[in-house]
Amino acid sequence: MNTHIPAAVYRKIDPNAWRRILVVGDLHGCYDLLQDKLAQHGFDTQLDLLVSVGDLIDRGPKNLQCLELLRQPWFCAVRGNHEQMAIDALQSGDGGLWLANGGRWFLRLDDDEQQRARGLIAECADLPLVIDIPMADRHIVVAHADYPLDSYGFGRAVAQEDLLWSRRRINRNQRGRGAPIEGATHFFFGHTPLARIRHYFNQFYIDTGAVFGGSLSVVELNTLPV
């Protein structure tokens, strides 16, 4: 069943507030890899912004540390399907789906850590599903799995489960049946682990499987080709 979401789940970022804006693929608890990657990029927490495509947690070694990034002023994220599974599990008391998809790290935390994790997962319910970055010569849109419409518009009603879960568009792209999404110049998605960043039309898929032994991809938006 499709659940339609209001425009409040869209967040617009002012690019002029930051020296550089970078976008990172699915972290899945790979906190140390992220720190190494930021050092390689000369990331300055006073000047630069890091945008995550979601899935901060599950399967990797440092999930609580990745959640705590949400408290940093230099970090922001869209909600991923793994955050959604955690939210649903803690709200409903039924953690079967979450535990089957990498959520067992939560059970290994001590009481204080679980309390911290519960608070941070609750905050994930307030994360946007779409981040909009209107730069001077490029218009960037970030979502976790897909932007399921053929034309983007800030605040348009879209199906939440498609933003979080859908692989229909990347499957079409991989079969040679894709097309650009109108309304913005660049779209960044995670969700689907790939051996390398894949670029189809104006869509970039940047989950390069860090938690599965692949690389963690970070892309600087200010230097993208127009």
Q: Report the alpha-carbon distance of residue 173 to residue 150 in Å, rounded.
A: 13
Q: Report the alpha-carbon distance of residue 226 to residue 222 in Å, rounded.
A: 10
Q: Which of 4, 41, 82, 199 is catalytic?
A: 82
Q: What is the DSSP string of 20-76?
A: EEEEE---TT-HHHHHHHHHHTT--TTTEEEEE-S--SSSSS-HHHHHHGGGSTTEE
Q: Active-site residue 82, yes or no?
A: yes
Number of other residues whose CB lies within 10 A of the CB of residue 135 = 17
Nearest residue to 170 (alpha-carbon basis) of 182, 157, 179, 161: 179
Q: What is the DSSP string of 127-154?
A: S-SEEEEE-SS-EEEEESS---SSB--T
Give the residue numbers annotated as catalytic, written as ranges: 82
